Amino acid sequence: DTGVSQNPRHKITKRGQNVTFRCDPISEHNRLYWYRQTLGQGPEFLTYFQNEAQLEKSRLLSDRFSAERPKGSFSTLEIQRTEQGDSAMYLCASRAPLSYNEQFFGPGTRLTVL
């Protein structure tokens, strides 16, 4: 297991379409986080899971966004009816239990909405 993986790495879609991203965390990491990063800015927190439970969602996560982690392993982030403003890098990170809050980041999925 070499790290957090995200698929796809790039996604181009037309406005109004639905998209789904996947994140595979490091094995045994019980916490999984989603962030959104736009050009020239730092990542913004979207939501996080402890095992399969979604513990917190940012107000940035509108009702068009939904995230799941059904078996406490991989997670998916779905955006429905995409808008041009959704264009960004979507980052996933995971954290081991009892760690010093060190999060390991994946390479991200870059979404472009035309």
Structure tokens at 96: 């081991």
Q: Which of 65, 79, 108, 111 binds another protein (CB under 8 A)?
A: 108
Nearer to another protein, 80 or 96 (CB): 96
With vertex at residue 20, the alpha carbon angle to CA 99 and CA 71, rounded to the nearest 5 degrees, is 45
Answer for which of 28, 40, 71, 84 binds another protein (CB under 8 A) is 40
Euclidean distance between CA atoms 76 and 106, whole angstroms? 13
**Through-space distance between the first and last CA atoms of the chain, rounded to whole angstroms:** 35
In whole angstroms, how close is the CB of 81 to another protein at the nearest point? 27
* Sites of contact with another protein (CB under 8 A): 31, 33, 35, 40-45, 48, 55-56, 91, 95, 100-108
